[in-house]
Amino acid sequence: MRKSLSAALFVLILGLTGNAVLAEEKESTLYTIQQGDTLWGISQRFLNDPYYWPNLWSKNPLITNPHFIYPGQKLKIGPDKIEIVTEAPAAGPVAVQPEKDKPAPAVAEVTIPVNGSEGFLLEKEPVPAGIIIATNSNRLMIGEGDTAYTDIGTERKAKSGDRYAIYRQLKLVSHPVYSGTVGYKIAPLGFLKLDEIKAKTSRVVITKSFSEVGIDDYLLPYVEPKRTIALKGADRDLKGYIVESRSGMELIGAGDVVYLDIGTKQGAAVGNLLYVVRDVEVSSEVSSNLKNNLPVSVIGAIVIINAGENVSTALVVKSAEQIYRGDRVEIRAVR
């Protein structure tokens, strides 16, 4: 794996510099950060893997935020790490930086797609806009293309063609670390459109289903589900915990959706990227002074895709190892 990454790295370097140097003869390269560079982008450019950067960042405590490194800094890029050069390096690495009259290779803005199936936590008991009161042929469960009936009618100023999102309240989530509850876990089931409407009721068509829909599932106003989340730097230090996952499974990995105990009141915002961290386990014989000064182990990364006042929804974009409910998340703000 190390050899293949090294080879890929130097093939790209050769393309940037035009130097015919064999990959195995070089173990690192120097790069001067340009305006607009990000550690994510550098990972993509040199390793052809934008999601590799948490592995790089975890080896570099001087880089406090991978999306806000600074022009003029020099990086020594190796097959499995990136280091900030603080003094003249030893002979060996090849210096790589764009020509003065030629901009650095462009790296596309990184965005996270969401489709409305991610779910969320509600801090208060939900107040639905309506509920499903019956299904076609009295079926227990229905899906996309099926018809159903709701308690929404013209008396609520509804009209034919109006759309709603369908949800189900699953459980009240307890905090995995502290005592108390965090919020109600809400599962999105799909979307519907009002078809035939009367004063107090309406017939509807299920236009999209993420899961089976049934009687007593409730409705909320429709919000366009498909959107992209652009990464955004945190303007203050953030620390919190993963309190639940969408799946409810014990093991969490890349691609899973998780819920956090921090929101806008704590400074969290949509697009913030946080690291999933864990304290390093050491022998009980090690002094508490040393234990408290150990760097944390970075085991993954998440991006916030929806933020409430004290809770938020996030997508796991990288996991170096299994993540669990109760794992800590954090990021340091740009200074």
The owner of tokens 């019956």 is 134
Structural contact between residues 289 and 259, judged by C-beta atoms closer than 8 angstroms: no
- 80 vs 241, more confident: 241
Lowest mean pLDDT among 23-32, 114-123, 212-221: 23-32
Alpha helices in the chain (DSSP H): 2-17, 39-47, 53-58, 288-291
CA of residue 101 relative to chain centroid, distance: 37
* Per-residue pLDDT tens digits for 71-121: 777 777 776 666 667 655 444 444 445 444 445 444 445 678 888 899 999
Q: Which two tokens stand for residue 195?
A: 């078809």
Would you say the pTM of this structure is higher than 0.75? no
> 231-331: which CATH topology?
Thrombin, subunit H (2.40.10)
* Per-residue pLDDT tens digits for 183-217: 999 999 999 999 999 999 999 999 999 999 999 99
pLDDT higher than 80, residue 56: no
Number of Cβ within 10 Å of residue 25's Cβ equals: 9
Residue 287 confidence (pLDDT): 61
Q: What is the DSSP string of 67-84?
A: T---TT-EEEE-SS-EEE
Structural contact between residues 217 and 188, judged by C-beta atoms closer than 8 angstroms: no
Which of the four CATH numbers 3.30.390.30, 2.30.40.10, 3.30.70.980, 2.40.10.410 does domain 120-226 have? 2.40.10.410
Domain ranges of the chain: 2-102, 120-226, 231-331
Amino acid letter, residue 146: D
- 39 vs 331, more confident: 331
